[in-house]
């Protein structure tokens, strides 16, 4: 560059004594210097003059030829005489040698073409050339644009590198001329195609229309069916009139199926489909086909924790609840009784047309051990069996291999109602003899009693009536109650709060074992007799008031009458 200026100055010095006009000076300056300044930073045309080593020498109309590294041309190295696009980057050396770029020339040209394409609303073609952070690099005729991962496709891409080399159309979302970068989308092109196909497909869709589609995807809740441009949802409940666990039991991806449009929203492009609606609803005739009490044959189709489903034919299923499987085991798992695919006889217990449910019974066709026991035994019989289980409220005695009888804790003894009495019989397998108190096949219950084997105790308790005044001897004292021995070894209890109407007198420590106490019977529950001293006081007071009224009528002195009433009350 310096040499160029010096030479120019020498040319000017030759004419120092031959003055030039201003126009001649401008023409001479532009010829020797001005054109070089205007080319720097711009793209222009150049002619390949020579190939020297790793460079191509290109004439762009400057005083000397410029050079371009051959690697910029890739596999398409130009030949001598070819006219190519170049970009003048800068000038080097004294001779003013220009550093040229073929790549930048292509990029600038491509950018201008892309800006024109963008302005005209045209979607250019390009090639995905690399995977970068957050997306892809796309070559659009020499412009390297960025495509975010969210804009690559309308469906998820599992292998990002599988798209490298893909040629397709891309929509320009944004261009930044200052930074010469662009953001593009492939998904936007697909969205337009899909929307157009959906609009076309919706023209053929109407309520109750029967269409043919292809199973596109299967989920737990239903099937997506391609109707030729738009997807419809076939819910699992609309696949079949009978119950199914998963849609894969009936369809598979790629299968062609006939469906009925049961609901659609044209604006939202939402279509609901059904397959079972193509068939007659079997529940319309279910009430005629089955009657409560009928014995029918079916096949076990499914076993769950709560029961067994049985296929009764014609797409009708009934449920045998676990409580209807066995007479003696209400919580037995269905797999312990039945197997999938097994043909069984069942009884129709109930039909709910609205809820589309049929309740079935399996045990009803098996011998009922409760009725058999009731036919071979009667109340009052004495039976013997081993203790099967002991709980806090009583004992369970095994009467047959299937049936148990229960002895409530209150039926163990006439005069004892505590855990100590229960412990006497709590050894598993211990043989116990008891009397049958009740047999109820409907409630599946057999009630037994041990104390009822002792007739005397039973007769003694019946002599004590509610409201009677009885006398007993204190046998046990606790802070909360007194225990009295009554007639016939019967026990009676008085709570601390029932000892007196006066709170100060409600103290069990004022009594001693062996004291004789008179009290009123409040209740008799089995062998449990509840007594009140307080109630007896109330009775005596009422009696005293009545006597007071009688004395008043006879003209007695009021003070004497009241004194006598108070004295009686204290007694």
Helices (H), 181-307: 187-202, 286-289
CA distance 374 to 315: 41
Which 3 state secondary structure label does DSSP give 147? Answer: strand
pLDDT at 4: 39
Beta bridge partners of 85: 45
pLDDT digits (tens, 9 = 90+) for 492-509: 888 888 888 788 888 888
User: Domains plus CATH for the chain?
Assistant: 2-105 (2.40.50.140), 123-191 (2.40.50.140), 204-278 (2.40.50.140), 282-365 (2.40.50.140), 369-453 (2.40.50.140), 460-539 (2.40.50.140)
State both tokens at 136.
Answer: 């892809």
Q: How far apart are CA 227 and CA 197, in angstroms?
A: 10
Distances (CA, A) of 160 to 143, 144, 165: 21, 18, 11
What per-residue confidence (pLDDT) applies to 35? 45
* This prediction's pTM: 0.43
Is 34 within 8 Å of 62 (Cβ atoms)? Answer: no
**The predicted structure's pLDDT at residue 184:** 94
Higher-confidence residue of 212 and 229: namely 212
Query: If you average pLDDT over every residue of the chain, what do you get?
Result: 80
CA 66 to chain centre: 72
Work out the number of other CB atoms within 10 angstroms of the CB of residue 178.
5
| Residue 99: per-residue pLDDT | 81
Mean pLDDT, residues 193-210: 83
Q: pLDDT tens for residues 19-37?
A: 444 455 445 444 444 444 4
pLDDT band at 418 (very low <50, low <70, confident <90, very high): low
Task: Provide the pLDDT confidence category of residue 235 given band limits of 50, 70 and 90.
Answer: very high
Q: What confidence score (pLDDT) does residue 29 get? A: 41
Are the C-beta atoms of 320 and 337 separated by less than 8 Å?
Answer: no
- Residue 135 pLDDT class (50, 70, 90 cuts): very high
Per mean pLDDT, which range of 323-327, 377-381, 443-447, 541-545 is the poorest?
A: 541-545
How much of the chain exceeds pLDDT 70, in percent? 82
- The mean per-residue pLDDT over the stretch 193-221 comes to 86
Calculate helix-pair angle for 2-13, 22-29, nearest 10 degrees: 150
Structure confidence at residue 44 (pLDDT): 82
């Amino acid at each position: 560059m310096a040499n160029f200026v010096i030479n120019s100055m020498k040319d000017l010095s030759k004419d120092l004594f031959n003055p030039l006009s201003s126009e001649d000076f401008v023409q001479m300056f532009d010829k020797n210097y001005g054109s070089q300044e205007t080319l720097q930073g711009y793209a222009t045309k150049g002619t390949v003059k020579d190939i020297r080593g790793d460079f191509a020498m290109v004439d762009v109309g400057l005083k000397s030829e410029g050079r371009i590294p051959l690697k910029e041309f890739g596999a398409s190295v130009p030949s001598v005489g070819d006219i190519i696009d170049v970009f003048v980057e800068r000038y080097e050396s004294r001779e003013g040698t220009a550093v040229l770029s073929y790549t930048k020339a292509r990029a600038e040209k491509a950018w201008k073409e892309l800006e024109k394409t963008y302005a005209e609303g045209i979607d250019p073609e390009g090639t995905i050339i690399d995977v970068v952070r957050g997306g892809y690099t796309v070559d659009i005729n020499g412009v390297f644009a960025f495509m975010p991962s969210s804009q690559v496709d309308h469906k998820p891409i599992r292998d990002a590198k599988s798209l490298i080399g893909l040629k397709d159309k891309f929509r320009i979302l944004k261009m930044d001329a200052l930074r010469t970068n662009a953001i593009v989308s492939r998904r936007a092109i697909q969205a337009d195609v899909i929307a157009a196909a959906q609009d076309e497909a919706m023209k053929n869709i109407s309520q109750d229309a029967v269409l043919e589609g292809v199973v596109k995807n299967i989920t737990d809740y239903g099937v997506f069916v391609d109707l030729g441009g738009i997807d419809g949802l076939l819910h699992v409940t609309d696949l079949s009139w009978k119950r199914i666990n998963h849609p894969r039991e009936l369809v598979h991806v790629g299968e062609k199926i006939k469906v009925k449009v049961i609901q659609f929203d044209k604006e939202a492009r939402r279509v609901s489909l059904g397959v079972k609606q193509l068939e007659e609803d079997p529940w319309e005739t279910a009430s005629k086909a089955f009657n409560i009490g009928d014995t029918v044959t079916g096949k076990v189709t499914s076993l769950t924790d709560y029961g067994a489903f049985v296929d009764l034919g014609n797409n009708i299923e009934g449920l045998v609840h676990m409580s209807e499987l066995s007479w003696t085991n209400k919580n037995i798992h269905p797999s312990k009784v039945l197997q999938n695919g097994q043909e069984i006889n069942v009884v129709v217990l109930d039909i709910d047309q609205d809820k589309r449910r049929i309740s079935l019974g399996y045990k009803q066709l098996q011998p009922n051990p409760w009725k058999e026991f009731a036919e071979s035994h009667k109340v009052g019989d004495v039976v013997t069996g081993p203790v099967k289980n002991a709980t806090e409220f009583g004992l369970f005695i095994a009467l047959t291999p299937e049936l148990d009888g229960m002895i409530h804790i209150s039926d163990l003894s006439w005069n004892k109602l505590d855990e100590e009495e229960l412990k006497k019989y709590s050894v598993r397998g211990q043989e116990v003899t008891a009397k049958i108190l009740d047999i109820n096949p409907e409630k599946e219950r057999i009630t037994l009693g041990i104390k009822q084997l002792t007739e005397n105790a039973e007769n003694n308790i019946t002599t004590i009536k509610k409201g009677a005044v009885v006398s007993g001897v204190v046998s046990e004292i606790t802070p909360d109650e007194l225990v009295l021995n009554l007639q016939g070894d019967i026990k009676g209890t008085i709570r601390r709060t029932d000892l007196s109407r006066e709170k100060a007198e409600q103290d069990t420590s004022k009594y001693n074992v062996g004291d004789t106490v008179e009290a009123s019977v409040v209740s008799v529950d089995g062998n449990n007799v509840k007594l009140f001293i307080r109630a007896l006081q109330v009775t005596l007071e009422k009696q005293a008031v009545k006597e007071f009224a009688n004395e008043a009528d006879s003209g007695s002195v009021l003070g004497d009458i009241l004194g006598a009433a108070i004295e009686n009350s204290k007694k």
